[in-house]
Amino acid sequence: MRLSASVILPCLALGTSTFIMQASESVISVCFNSSLLAYGGDLAVGAMTILTSVMQFAMLPLQGLGQGAQPITSYNYGAKNRERVKKSFRLLLTISLVYSVVLWAFILISPRLFVGMFTSDATLLDFTSQALRVYCGALFIFGIQIACQMTFVSIGSAVCSIIVAVLRKFVLLIPLIYILPQFLVDQTFAVYLAEPVADVFAVTFTAILFTIQFKKILAKLN
């Protein structure tokens, strides 16, 4: 059996957005830590380690929901069942949003509960608890980002999925890590603020792009 480029290349393209999301984490970590070390010292870098762990904890259920919905959406897309494709996306979006909002509320109400799982140092605990509220400030809308991005992959829209992944990480987040401290008095928390600011712009762009592309793709299923 010979491998065909017409089969392999689309598969690679669909996996590229996920690869970018995972591979970019190390680059983002270096950018955050170098900037925080300059403005906040070791305490700020230590807090960032905890924030990253909490964010990973928050993202795992969202990614699991998205990956669970992917085969269902893909199957119905392949069967040209428009209504079930729409229904599967709406269900994924609803559950993802509910989870995001609930977790965001818990973080705002009791950040020490999450931070306390990683440290017992009083100084680090107090500092990280404040930083966590800032860092996760836009978490309540992140369910939209994951639902749309996972659905892009499910319906074979590799280009859109790659654009969304690159925009959030490289176009928005990395520049904001270095730009925001130049304009805000509290430079350390300005670095943490880069995450929610990037998320707001990224989610807005993703929602608009998805609305336009999803309608076009569904129209082809007639």
Averaged pLDDT for residues 187-212: 95
Tokens matching residue 73: 């959406």
Question: For the segment 57-91, what is each residue's pLDDT rounded down to a tens digit?
Answer: 888 899 899 989 999 999 999 898 999 999 999 99
Cα gap 98→202, rounded to integer Å: 19
Tokens matching residue 131: 């930083």
205: closest CA among 131, 145, 146?
145
Tokens matching residue 40: 């906040």
Q: What pTM did the predictor assign?
A: 0.88
Burial category of 188 from C-beta neighbours within 10 Å (exposed 0-12, middle 13-18, buried 19 and up): buried
Q: What is the 3-state secondary structure (H, E, C) of 105-158?
A: HHHHHCHHHHHCCCCCCHHHHHHHHHHHHHHCCCHHHHHHHHHHHHHHHHCCCH
Instruction: Check whether 39 has a pLDDT greater than 80.
Output: yes
Tokens matching residue 199: 């998320």
Residues 6+ apart with CB under 8 A from 25: none
220: closest CA among 92, 88, 85, 89?
85
93: closest CA among 222, 212, 11, 211?
211
| Predicted pLDDT of residue 170 | 87
| Predicted pLDDT of residue 161 | 81
